[in-house]
Chains A and B, each alone.
Chain A
């Protein structure tokens, strides 16, 4: 018990870590959503090359471990591009592209889940493709997408912990620093785990609520 108090004495460290974790998560959420929308549109595009680019993006980001993506962007990319990214920029970039790849699937599946008949009926009523998308398809699809979209956000917060591997001073990294100062690794890590839990538990309750509420 005393050990936990010692660890909690390093509040400033923990708060700094929390700040980075929240920043990484918020950037990843906002930018990842934009990337997800763009690449879902790419997958539904009539142009074949655009569709292929979308598929290649998805396959690369969904079949490699996030950790490998962090390592590649931080250590390998600068070698060929000549540009080295700060840990924070590299971390945000990876979280954006990784969560974007999950959003892509969610958005695409949501749009495709709207029955063909709806589109046909709207066309028969003389609506233009653009109107059909904005007024008929998207409003219904959005509701269906919400639970999966929100659960990707929960995953994103947890995955931000991997940015510690490229030395972003986020929560886990700060916990490891405290561990080395205090020689209390288990207590430090448990405190960090509790903070993560407090961040994600309300989010995942909300996801459950969405699942129950929006059962379609």
Chain B
């Protein structure tokens, strides 16, 4: 019978806590950047310039149709950046492509008729955008953005492979130093569940709350 020894986890608590902080930092700056770059790519896809539309379109296709881990490796090996920097850039490039699609479908979902109706009522284009289109688009964009936030939180574990000292990396370090993979990785899984599950529940609630009835 296997003898547990959870002291390897409790003794290295600081390592895990430090890793968790790095995970949160990475995820926050990635999301903050991709919220802006994703919107820029979505706008580029609707631009009157054909070239810009094509470039933005291929960008989203390429980053959505190749594995994130491959993207992270390429950024890491093609540059001389630190692991953290490469992880941040790789995650951001990937998330930008997905968020661009979220924005695009959010904006597209507002029918043309709404524009025309508002213009007929004498509203200026600026007013139409601010009062009619954006409020409705926000309703449709916020829930999927929440979903991507949660999946980013989970996917950020991949940067451990290129050496970023985040949560998963910390557990791997504990495992190799103590020869206790069971305790280290079980604690890791539990930590992720504790950190992610409340966020996932919050996002499900957002989906309910922002449900658009047609």
Contact = CB atoms under 8 A, between A and B. Distances in A.
A184 B181 CA distance: 33
Interface residues of B, number: 37
B136 to A, nearest CB: 19
Interface stretch (B6-14, B62-70, B112-120): B62-70
A68 B160 CA distance: 11
A162 B158 contact: yes
A186 B155 CA distance: 22
Contact of A161 (B70, B168, B182, B197): B70
Interface in B140-182: 154-158, 160-161, 168, 172, 175, 181-182
B25 interface: no
Contacts of A197: 62, 65-66
A165 B184 CA distance: 17
Interface in B68-84: 68-71, 73-74, 77-78
Q: Dominant SS at the A interface?
A: helix
A94 to B, nearest CB: 12
Interface in A138-178: 154, 158-159, 161-162, 164-165, 172, 175-176
A113 B77 CA distance: 46
B197 A158 contact: no
Contacts of B156: 65
A189 B74 CA distance: 6
Contact of A204 (B2, B65, B196): B65
Interface stretch (A4-12, A30-38, A56-64): A56-64
B59 interface: no
A69 B186 CA distance: 10
Interface of A: 59-60, 62-69, 71-72, 75-76, 79-80, 154, 158-159, 161-162, 164-165, 172, 175-176, 179, 185-186, 189-190, 192-193, 196-197, 200-201, 204
